[in-house]
Amino acid sequence: MQVKSLFLQHFHLDQTYYLMSGRCARLLNEYFNALDVHNKSGLNDIQFSNLMKVITDLTQTEILFLFELFDLDASGILEFGEFYLMVCILIATKDNIMKGFIHMHSRVVFDLLDANSSGTISVSEFKKYGFFFDFTPDAINGVFHEFDVSHDQVLDYREFRMFALACVNSKKEMNREEVVC
């Protein structure tokens, strides 16, 4: 996925907590309020779809999957908190810091990927929503091969947390290799 928004190019996440600064969050809230043309304190699926077509290169099907994913309370409206989380993930993608974001917010990412709230992530759930976290189908298969230690074809939170820790370790190794080269 590619983030094409010029507006979001000026937003970055704090490198310690992988969240926006208060100033950026306030600016994002103003942006959100401007998008909320119906004054419903949220964006409906049509508004969300049109926004995502402009700021990303996602397909309509992927956009609808994301609306379903981030509409945490199934209200049919994306409220600011849900929108904020989605934008943080877009920024992590744009800035190429998704591994750190997943590590710092592993529980939130796990709960998002666990679409049916079963307490586990199936391969199909991971593949349906994993594209938003920069996971290719091959990478998802690799995650299950390496971290599904119980071999039950699902990841529980403990297994997913091991994956999140491995993300950070691989990021640190990549950073060390960049310094050496």
Residue 78 sits in the same domain as residue 103: no
Q: Are residues 124 and 154 in the same domain?
A: yes
Same domain assignment for residues 123 and 177: yes
Q: What is the CATH number of the domain that holds 3?
A: 1.10.238.10
63-107 pLDDT, tens digit each: 999 999 999 999 999 999 999 999 999 999 999 999 899 999 999
Helix axis angle for 157-180 and 137-147, nearest 10°, is 110
Statement to judge: residues 172 and 119 lie in one domain = yes
- Quick: pLDDT tens for 114-164: 989 999 999 999 998 888 888 889 989 999 999 999 999 999 999 999 998
Q: What is the pLDDT of residue 169?
A: 64
Q: How many domains does the chain have?
A: 2
Query: Can you give the pLDDT at residue 171?
Result: 43
Domain that holds residue 111: 97-181
Cβ neighbours of residue 166 under 8 Å, at least 6 residues apart? 146, 147
Last residue within a domain, chosen from 75, 96, 117:
96
The amino acid at 167: C
Query: What are φ and ψ of residue 3, in 5° steps?
Result: -95, 120
157 and 180 fall within a common domain: yes
The predicted-structure confidence for 13-34, as pLDDT tens digits, reads as follows 998 899 999 999 999 999 999 9
Residues 144 and 179 in one domain: yes
**Domain's final residue, options 62, 96, 130:** 96
